[in-house]
Structure 1
Amino acid sequence: MTRPAPGDYIIYNRVLSCSGQKLAITYCNKGGPVTVTPLTQLREQIWTIKNYSDGKTQHIIPKKDDNLEVGWGKTGAVVIPPGNYVWTIRDGDDGYTIQDGARTKNWGVEKAVANTKVCISVDRGSPYQRWVLQKVKTSGDY
């Protein structure tokens, strides 16, 4: 299992919506939950992945507001001010997993439905807990 190279990505769930749409992780607002919405490639769906100094984990930062990062909130993944929130992102045969630094909980969605919050829970091996990372241009013309 390998981690992604630092850079800008669109991250979408392995499970398509009922209407066949790819559901991308989307930034809503500071302090708010991370959700999945139909893939449009808007700036709110672009995430910068940066390596953390431990060489194992990575930060996930919204391109829309690079003064924030994804952390762990009461209801799941939230976008908050930086605080060394790090994630273990690894590629596997069935897609990427995004886990906490200790690799005990995974990002996922309960259903492949637009505007669903990204939750953090024990890995059940579910495709709802697997992601596709699509590298995007970094030229700023989003």
Structure 2
Amino acid sequence: MQFNTFVNTVALVLFVAGAHAKVPSGIYSIINKVQSSEGKNRTITFNGERKTVTVSLDDRTISKQKTQSISPADKRGDQCAWGGNVVTVLPAHNYVWTITQNEGEETYTIQDGGETVYWGLGSTDVETEVTIGGKTETGEQSWYFVPA
């Protein structure tokens, strides 16, 4: 799923301060660092308002994989939000996320505004929900921002 500066046009506010490296404005696919069990890239996919955000095989031709400031590129009035322990899409309401470049890497983490929890994946399957949880030491909480 491509994002106009992040999650399928899910107006996710890019918060960068101090040592946080900013993702330049643009349209991106957000790809998880850990590949699927078949060795393929898994990209954040927005499945519509009030639906859980998942990952699917990378296909840069579909707008559901594009975002603007963590807003879906095709529905800028929506934002990525917390939905229990998963990322979901809701109407815009000041949902704030912190995007930080991992030291010495080309990947980023996506955290809540207070930097207490992370976006991640619990398995290497496709159609896996993007979860929100505590820090782990594995790559499923790291994301590439690939220009569309």
TM bracket (short chain): 0.7 to 0.9
Structure 1 stretch displaced more, 29-38 or 121-130: 121-130
State whether residues 67 and 82 of structure 1, in contact with CA within 8 Å, keep that contact through their aligned partners in structure 2. yes
Q: Secondary structure at the match of 1:11?
A: strand
Structure-1-length-normalised TM-score: 0.84
Give the number of the structure whose residues are more often strand, by fraction.
1
Aligned position for 2:87? 77
Aligned residue pairs, count: 126
Measured against aligned partners, the alpha-carbon deviations of 1:19-59 in whole angstroms (never above 9, x if no partner) come to 1110000011110000000001111001112xxxxxxxxxx
Q: Kindly indicate whether residue 131 of structure 2 is the aligned counterpart of residue 119 of structure 1.
A: yes
Q: For residues 133 and 77 of structure 1, what CA distance do their matches in structure 2 show?
A: 17
Structure-2 separation of matches of 1:115 and 1:64: 20
Following superposition of structure 1 onto structure 2, how do residues 1-142 of structure 1 map, counting pairs within 5 Å? 1-41=20-60, 42-49=62-69, 60-92=70-102, 93-94=104-105, 95-136=107-148
Paired residue secondary structure (1:65): coil
> TM-score scaled by structure 2?
0.81
Structure 1 segments unaligned to the other structure (5+ residues): 50-59, 137-142
Letter in 1 for 2:44: I
Runs of 4+ in 1 over 3 A off after TM superposition: none
Give distance in 2, aligned partners of 1:116 and 1:123.
Answer: 18
Corresponding residue of 1:52: none
Alpha-carbon distance in 2 for matches of 1:108, 1:13: 8
Query: What displacement does 1:75 show?
Result: 3.6
Deviation at 1:64, TM superposition (A): 2.4
What is the CA RMSD across the aligned residues, in angstroms? 1.1
Match of 1:48, SS state, is coil
Which ranges in structure 2 are unaligned for 5 or more consecutive residues?
A: 1-19
Q: Distance in 2 between matches of 1:102 and 1:119?
A: 17
Name which of structure 1's ranges 89-98 and 32-41 shifts more when overlaid on structure 2.
89-98
